[in-house]
Structure 1
Amino acid sequence: MSTNTSNRGSRVRDRIASFLGEMMRRPLTDYYIVMFVIALLVLTGVLMVVTSSMATSVSETGSAWTYATKQILLIVIGFIAMIGVMQMPPRKVRKYAVWLMRISILLLIVVLIPGIGTGKEQVGSQSWIPLGPVNIQPSEIARVALAIWGASFLTRKPKVYFRFYGIDFDRRAMFAVIAGFTCALVMAEGDLGMTAMLGFLTLIMLVFAGLPRGLIVAALTISGVAFVLAVTMHGYRGHRITVFIDALFGRFDDIDGVAYQSYQGILSLADGSFTGLGIGQSRAKWFYLPEAKNDFIFAIVGEELGFVGAAIIIGLFTALLLIALRIALRIKDSFLSLAVATLAAGISLQAFINMAYVIGLLPVTGIQLPLISAGGSSAVITLAALGLIANCARYEPEAISAMQSYGRPALDRVLFLREPDVSDIRTRRSTRRSSQGTRQSGAPKRQPPKIERNERVSYRQSSTGTWGSSDRDRTGSVDKQRGAQRQPRRRNYPQDNKRRRR
């Protein structure tokens, strides 16, 4: 009986594995998975913002739907931005990457001007630019701009950017300098969490670009020292570190002070148990948990949807990262490959940092949960970045071949997306130079003519680039065929020496 049960179970596993393998081998599978994950995250985020913001919305505006309506409007704008990015050919994205980086640095400087930038006075931050009903966060724009521009800059040739007194500075060094300047501007805003986020993003991109291990260790050491100095410069950051260490050992000494928010977040997750209290049944959102709709919305997810809902959110961000890395490995354009891997790593890293400090595994940093938290420009910028990832999935070789053979899929026709063109991307394989001149990769090689086994010839290349023959080789045999290419030399066998002596 047990043998039959085990055999039946193995057959079921084999069928499931075969089905999943067949699905993953189909063209456009990555594209559909990315769009499906985006749709689930957006729907979950809108639902959780609606349930977590009602109490605060009624208290501040008199209407229960103010923050929910604002979030839905931002999601609609974000979808328009995502479709707009998907309409752009990759060569245009690379062309405008430098301008996107310049605009982001300009906004990071503008937000530091007194009277323009706003933020949280209790922590001394100045990170937003008010623009009507929406607050723009320049550091969010800088996060995406750094990934796209960095991918464009690091994949260009030559690798040596300039030479100074005999010292070669390659593009990785120049990218690190500009990324460090960007991190310094964000640090000047008082946003340590986003500064650390940009630092990790820079390190990830340099690792993907082939940075040596020694330099990686040096960069981590410098970043660690800078982080410790930044924490000790401001008292509230040191208090957050203290709360984090106490939470690791199950202690909350000041639950009415600096540890109040973290303590309430842990209580919310504990109330949710395995299946949750149900949609709209959270107790923490009734002014017990500060920033319930923003930074600590994952605690509301755990309270209303339980461990199951929280695990689904973690699984969606993990799936997004893995499928984006698969796209980066399969696509042939080095710029798109590096951009997709970095953007996905940045979005997933931001999500994991947020969920980690909510459950007490990291100090509170104030980083929002992408597509789930109620925010200003964060949802729009994140959806635009995801649009680039989804568009790159359409440029996989198998996807291009399938659309050329069978036409665009139904989703592309609904979104009015054009068919991808191979000329829009640059292949990683560079051109090779042969003796006949420059030959593009993939061009057919000229086949040498057939030569009899015992016929020995020698060749030389004329000034016109065509193969000619010498008058006589060292064995005295005359070249009888013109236009033939060089053949491997015949071995000198003993019988040949006997013939020469005769």
Structure 2
Amino acid sequence: MTQDTMPRSQSAPDRLRARYRDYLSRPFFDYFVILSVVGLITAVGAVMVLSSSTTWSALDSGVWTQGVRHMIFLSVGYMALWLALWMRPVLIRRLATPLLVVTIVLLVAVLIPGVGTGLVESGARSWLVLGPFTFQPSELAKVTLAVWGAHHLSDRGPIRHWLNNPFMHYSAVTVLIVALILQQPDLGMAAVCLSVAGLVLVFAGIPGRFIIGIGGAFGLLALGTAIFSALRGNGEGNYRTHRIEVYRDALLGDFDDVRGKAFQSYQGFLSLAEGGTSGVGPGQSRAKWFYLPEAKNDFIFAIIGEETGLVGGTIVILLFGALGIVGLRCAMRSADPFLKLLAATLTAGVVSQAFVNIGYVVGLLPVTGIQLPMISSGGSSAIITIGSMGLLASAARHEPEAVSTMQSYGRPAIDRFLWLREPDPAGSQGSVAHQNRPTRRPAEAVTRRPRPGSPPPADAHQAQRPTRPSGGSVTGGATPRRLPRSGGPSRTDRHHTRRRG
């Protein structure tokens, strides 16, 4: 065999592409990647909150108080993730409307003076006190809009009127929830809820150009109004105008008030610059020593950039990017309309919030005050966001390939460890066992085979004997019996008479 006729070995790039396609084709790829990425992001958050909160915790009770408290919330969030994986999709759909009612009641309760708190601390009455913990209903509202929107819009029928249709119903509910959040006032969370609602409408099939056009028009109008008011007035006391001014300075790289309104953004820039490529090392941040406000919350990405450098910040961005790609891939592979819409909305909502937070820390977007999902310190935010990732993992677990593989080969090791049941192939449409259960018609007679040697029932001959209806025909389609002639005995009677004679 000559050298030209010998089979050539596959090159290294081709082997890598083949291995990559092999991993993508595996039935549990999306499920495992979602759980792994969520675990890595929360691990990064636990380490960074523990590092960035030591100085502020030392002023209260102990050095590790805030870090331990955040780990407790992460544990509760993983319990919510397990519960979301354990619930059937049909149960999630049944709980969508009660969840909406509870969310609206909590948003109304937050506005009651003496019930809602946080107006003095953060400028917005957004929290409810539940014993030693505080709860933010607006965090629940963004997940409620995704779950109820997927439930209400997934099985919609044809639109018969432009006003009375599922899209208008969902838009009316969104306006009510956003209006309640604006009354707190919490502009950042209202923008997040509006973005989630817009994503639900886009993924549900409404033409995206209308949403982009209307949103862009309102955005340009708000931006123009803020810039015009900043040019006309001095801007004192108007924090929205200050944010626009700081955003302009961040884009130009020239802060004119580094000790006033631009102090936080300027300190975030210094932290990122000091980190360089590899960072100053875990726990060695200088900005957390009372230089950077909200170091463990809104601007925690600046601490990540300072302690881990460009490498650590890039890893965090890649983790959220992988979550977005796999989550949208799960939505495209799902055969259930409810799970498809739910997976796409939850993925886009969490990833867009993450990139908005990173964007205003690095100066590409105005500061909105929203947290970095699953990384920033927070009780209700961490619990609800991790729980929503359980819903996303449940959608990946109900992909057709994953369901068929579990039916043939059993559950994977992670499901056996978590005591999870096999997924329902019917998804959110109901139990397959209930749908495939044979039903008996009311008029259908039940016949049982008699035991050997047992006498036939007394009414057996009567049940088999055709009955004569009032119309003169025999029911059941059987051959009619010949009736005796009037005025004389029948053939059977004459036969018995001759035998007796």
Q: Same fold (TM over 0.5)?
A: yes
Q: Is the 8 A contact 1:110 1:116 kept in 2?
A: yes
Match of 1:422 among 425, 428, 446: 425
Q: Is the 8 A contact 1:49 1:71 kept in 2?
A: yes
Match of 1:298 among 284, 296, 301: 301
Q: Is the 8 A contact 1:123 1:236 kept in 2?
A: no
1:69-88 aligned at under 5 Å gives the runs 69-88=68-87
Name the aligned partner's letter for residue 77 of structure 1. Answer: V
What's 1:456 paired with?
A: none
Q: Is the 8 A contact 2:93 2:151 kept in 1?
A: yes
What's 1:94 paired with?
A: 93
1:86-485 aligned at under 5 Å gives the runs 86-121=85-120, 124-160=123-159, 168-213=163-208, 215-221=210-216, 223-224=218-219, 227-228=222-223, 235-426=238-429
In the alignment of these two chains, the number of paired residues is 415
What's 1:20 paired with?
A: 20
Give the fraction of aligned pairs with identical amino acids, expressed as a percent.
47
The farther-off stretch of 167-176 and 361-370 is 167-176
What displacement does 1:10 show? 8.8
Q: Cα 1:136–1:364, aligned 2, differ >3 Å: closer, same or farther?
A: same
In structure 2, runs of 5+ residues without a counterpart are 1-7, 230-234, 431-501
What displacement does 1:407 show? 0.5
The farther-off stretch of 330-339 and 195-204 is 195-204
Q: Is the 8 A contact 1:159 1:171 kept in 2?
A: no
What displacement does 1:118 show? 1.6
Aligned-residue CA RMSD in angstroms? 2.1
SS at match of 2:426: helix
SS at match of 2:27: coil
What displacement does 1:136 show? 0.7
Tell me the distance in 2 between the aligned counterparts of 1:10 and 1:204.
Answer: 43
Q: Cα 1:136–1:18, aligned 2, differ >3 Å: closer, same or farther?
A: same
What displacement does 1:106 show? 1.0
What displacement does 1:42 show? 1.0
Q: Cα 1:381–1:344, aligned 2, differ >3 Å: closer, same or farther?
A: same
SS at match of 2:117: coil
Q: Cα 1:246–1:342, aligned 2, differ >3 Å: closer, same or farther?
A: same
What displacement does 1:422 show? 0.9
Cα displacement string for residues 384-420 of structure 1 (whole angstroms, at most 9, x for unaligned residues): 1000111111111110111111100000011110011
Cα displacement string for residues 26-51 of structure 1 (whole angstroms, at most 9, x for unaligned residues): 11011100010011011111000110
What's 2:41 paired with?
A: 41
Q: Is the 8 A contact 2:278 2:308 kept in 1?
A: yes
Q: Is the 8 A contact 1:134 1:377 kept in 2?
A: no
Tell me the distance in 2 between the aligned counterparts of 1:28 and 1:119.
Answer: 43
- The TM-score with structure 1 as length reference comes to 0.79
Tell me the distance in 1 between the aligned counterparts of 2:70 and 2:122.
Answer: 25
What's 1:469 paired with?
A: none
Q: Cα 1:386–1:279, aligned 2, differ >3 Å: closer, same or farther?
A: same
What displacement does 1:177 show? 1.6
In structure 1, runs of 5+ residues without a counterpart are 1-7, 428-502
Between Structure 1 and Structure 2, whose CA radius of gyration is higher? 2
Tell me the distance in 2 between the aligned counterparts of 1:340 and 1:226.
Answer: 32
What displacement does 1:122 show? 6.8
Tell me the distance in 2 between the aligned counterparts of 1:229 and 1:142.
Answer: 29
Tell me the distance in 2 between the aligned counterparts of 1:347 and 1:221.
Answer: 21
What displacement does 1:60 show? 2.1
- The TM-score with structure 2 as length reference comes to 0.79
SS at match of 1:256: coil
Q: Is the 8 A contact 1:334 1:426 kept in 2?
A: no
Name the aligned partner's letter for residue 296 of structure 1. Answer: F
What displacement does 1:142 show? 0.2
What's 1:474 paired with?
A: none
Name the aligned partner's letter for residue 27 of structure 1. Answer: P
Q: Cα 1:299–1:168, aligned 2, differ >3 Å: closer, same or farther?
A: closer
